[in-house]
């Protein structure tokens, strides 16, 4: 059976293929990132608010144990830099254009907290004073779980924070009884955060694919995998409105398998279904551009739509569509006009003159379909949009 793409298939195919590297195909990856940002906005606000509250709670507690230069460094890093940045980030989450950059911001702020914590701890150990790091570790964990970073960003963050502590401690500390203890907690915190980030993103990606498959299933014809009538009407309405606003031409084609009832009577309904699936696959291959689409309008009737095609391309579309089914060479001994499966069709092309013209466009194409049937079948009749009295072209 010829293969063709449908919305449902692209999700199912990605699920079957897997994504251990946390990457989809280009089309799905772009769609996922939009979904990811929209899904995480509330969680991101929560992470920021929790982070600010934790800082406000921990700063007084930590300051009670600090003195000298380390106290001043801690106050600047936490109170005068981190908190204002978090407040600014909270404001920006309410701005649509900023949201897609939030994961980058999360990466920067978490890395900043981690590195400044490392400086603080090494400074304190070198000076022989207590330098608290547990609160910052808690902030890092909150950010990993709620910050909305992608796994690769989390991994980069882990590496930077861990390396910074390794470099600082080896550069400024000699043998120290607390060094191994500090190593363990910093590396363990980053490792747990990274594993959690991977697991969370993996589950979110599964949810995205399953959600997409379910949504596609609701608008997909179960036999052919093409859009069903409800989805076709919805897409046609939106595209007609868009074409009207942009003054762009659209080309709509309604086709019908000739003498399909006779086909079912001759070969049976199972063979009839197989015939429709192969015809659908052939038709779908003629709609490959981003805004083009094809679907099953009902029974043995299909609808194809091309957006922003030049007026002289209508005949080319009709010829390619008809030829794609002719080349299948599907036997149809019960046809009155051919020994293979053929199509009759009605095509309309032009720029919509009003935004609510979708139904009228389908009606005009349907009238041309009946003209094609009445004039002998196995042909496509083409008309300019709005001109219902003159035939622009006939493809046989």
Determine the pLDDT at residue 134.
Answer: 64
Are residues 384 and 362 located together in one domain of the fold? yes
Average pLDDT, the chain: 85
Strand partners, 343: 257
Domain boundaries, position 164: 7-217
Residues 37 and 174 in one domain: yes
Asked if 308 and 351 sit in the same domain, the reply is yes
Q: Please tell me the predicted confidence (pLDDT) of residue 137.
A: 67
- Whether residue 87 contacts residue 93, with contact meaning beta carbons closer than 8 Å, is answered with no
Sequence-distant (≥ 6) Cβ neighbours of residue 313 within 8 angstroms: 251, 306
Per the domain annotation, does 223 fall within a domain? no
Per-residue pLDDT tens over the stretch 60-78: 887 887 777 778 887 888 8
Whether 275 is covered by a domain: the verdict is yes
- DSSP character at residue 377: S
Let me know whether 203 and 130 are in one domain: yes
Distances (CA, A) of 185 to 35, 120, 162, 279: 34, 15, 11, 63
Active site residues: 300
pLDDT at 132 exceeding the cut of 70: no
Q: How confident is the model at residue 1 (pLDDT cuts 50, 70, 90)?
A: very low
Decide if 249 is inside a domain.
yes
Rounded to two decimals, the pTM is 0.58
| Residue 131: per-residue pLDDT | 63
Which pLDDT score is estimated for 300?
A: 95
Domain ends where: 168, 197, 217? 217
- In the prediction, which pLDDT does 102 show? 78
- pLDDT per position as a tens digit, 147-205: 677 888 888 887 888 888 888 888 887 776 666 776 787 778 777 877 888 888 898 89
In-domain check, residue 2: no
Last residue within a domain, chosen from 194, 217, 240: 217
Residues 172 and 203 in one domain: yes
Number of domains in the chain: 2
Q: What is the CATH number of the domain that holds 291?
A: 3.30.70.270
Q: Is the pLDDT of residue 103 over 90?
A: no
For residue 183, what pLDDT is reported? 72
The first and second tokens of residue 248, run together, are: 């762009």
User: Is 135 found in the same domain as 250?
Assistant: no
With b meaning 16 or more CB within 10 Å and e meaning fewer, what string describes 82-115? beeebeebbeebeeeeebeebbebbbebbbbbbb
Q: Which tokens hold the place of 53? A: 């509250």
Residues 335-354: pLDDT tens digits? 999 999 999 999 999 999 99
* CA separation for the pair 121, 124 (Å, rounded): 5
């Amino acid at each position: 059976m010829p293969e063709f793409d449908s919305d449902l298939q692209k999700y199912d195919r990605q699920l079957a293929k897997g994504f251990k590297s946390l990457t989809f195909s280009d089309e799905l990856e772009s769609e996922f990132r939009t979904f990811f940002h929209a899904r995480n906005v509330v969680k991101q606000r929560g992470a920021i608010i929790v982070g600010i509250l934790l800082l406000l709670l921990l700063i007084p507690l930590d300051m009670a144990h600090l003195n000298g230069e380390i106290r001043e460094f801690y106050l600047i890093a936490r109170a005068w830099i981190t908190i204002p940045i978090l407040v600014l980030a909270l404001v920006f989450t309410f701005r649509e254009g900023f949201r897609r950059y939030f994961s980058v911001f999360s990466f920067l702020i978490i890395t900043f907290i981690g590195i400044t914590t490392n400086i603080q701890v090494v400074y304190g150990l070198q000076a022989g004073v207590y330098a608290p790091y547990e609160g910052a570790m808690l902030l890092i964990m909150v950010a990993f779980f709620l910050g909305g970073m992608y796994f690769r960003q989390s991994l980069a963050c882990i590496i930077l924070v861990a390396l910074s502590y390794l470099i600082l401690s080896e550069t400024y500390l000699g043998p120290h009884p607390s060094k191994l203890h500090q190593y363990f907690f910093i590396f363990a915190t980053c490792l747990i955060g990274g594993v959690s980030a991977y697991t969370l993103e993996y589950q979110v990606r599964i949810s995205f694919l399953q959600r997409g498959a379910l949504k596609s299933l609701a608008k997909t014809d179960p036999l052919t995998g093409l859009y069903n009538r409800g989805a076709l009407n919805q897409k046609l309405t939106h595209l007609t409105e868009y074409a009207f606003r942009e003054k762009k031409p659209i080309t709509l084609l309604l086709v019908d398998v000739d003498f399909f009832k006779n086909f079912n009577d001759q070969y049976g309904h199972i063979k009839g279904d197989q015939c429709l699936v192969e015809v659908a696959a052939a038709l779908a291959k003629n709609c490959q551009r981003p805004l083009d689409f094809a679907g099953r309008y009902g029974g043995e009737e299909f609808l194809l739509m091309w957006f922003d095609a030049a007026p002289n391309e209508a005949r080319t579309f009709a010829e390619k569509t008809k030829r794609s089914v002719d080349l299948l060479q599907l036997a149809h001994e019960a046809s009155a006009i051919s020994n293979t499966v053929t199509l009759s069709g009605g095509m309309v092309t032009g720029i919509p003159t009003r935004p609510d013209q979708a139904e009228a466009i389908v009606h005009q194409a349907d009238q041309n379909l009946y003209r094609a049937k009445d004039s002998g079948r196995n042909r496509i009749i083409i008309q300019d949009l709005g001109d219902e009295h003159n035939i622009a072209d006939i493809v046989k």
